[in-house]
Amino acid sequence: SQQGEEDPQALSIQEGENATMNCSYKTSINNLQWYRQNSGRGLVHLILIRSNEREKHSGRLRVTLDTSKKSSSLLITASRAADTASYFCATVYQSYNTDKLIFGTGTRLQVFP
């Protein structure tokens, strides 16, 4: 299976703390994306990092990518209760006419008020 793995599987923190999630993948990539999924809902795209980028920021989100180690991390700073959700990394590989996503196993984040 090409599926990536995420670590930790579950994370519980207090509001205001930072949350770090790690993702490892198996194949060469063009880019890697992070998605959030609230309980029982669809996924929402958070950030995309290309294979030639090492770090990217978006608001309270910071993503790093280490292609030599085939790993990525997502940092959420100053967490809020509303950040409670599952977070998935997704590696992108190209089919002949489009891109396909392979999702990691996900990290369930619980932020307590």
Partner 1 sequence: DAMVIQNPRYQVTQFGKPVTLSCSQTLNHNVMYWYQQKSSQAPKLLFHYYDKDFNNEADTPDNFQSRRPNTSFCFLDIRSPGLGDAAMYLCATSKGSGAHEQYFGPGTRLTVT
Quote the least distance from Cβ 86 to partner 1, whole Å.
Answer: 9
**Is 70 or 103 the residue whose CB approaches partner 1 more closely?**
103
Exactly one of 45, 54, 57, 80 binds partner 1 (CB under 8 A); that residue is 45
Taking the C-alpha atoms of residue 24 and residue 106, their distance in angstroms, rounded to an integer, is 11
Q: Could you say which residues in the range 50-109 bind partner 1, by CB under 8 A?
A: 50, 88, 92, 94-95, 97-106
Q: Is 106 exposed, middle or buried (0-12, 13-18, 19+ CB in 10 A)?
A: buried
Task: Choose one: 32-40, 54-62, 64-72, 76-84; the region binding partner 1 (CB under 8 A).
Answer: 32-40
Task: Give residue 23's identity as a one-letter amino acid code.
Answer: C
At 38, which helix (H) or strand (E)? none
Beta bridge partners of 75: 20, 62
Contact footprint for partner 1 (CB under 8 A): 3, 30-31, 33, 35, 40-45, 48, 50, 88, 92, 94-95, 97-106
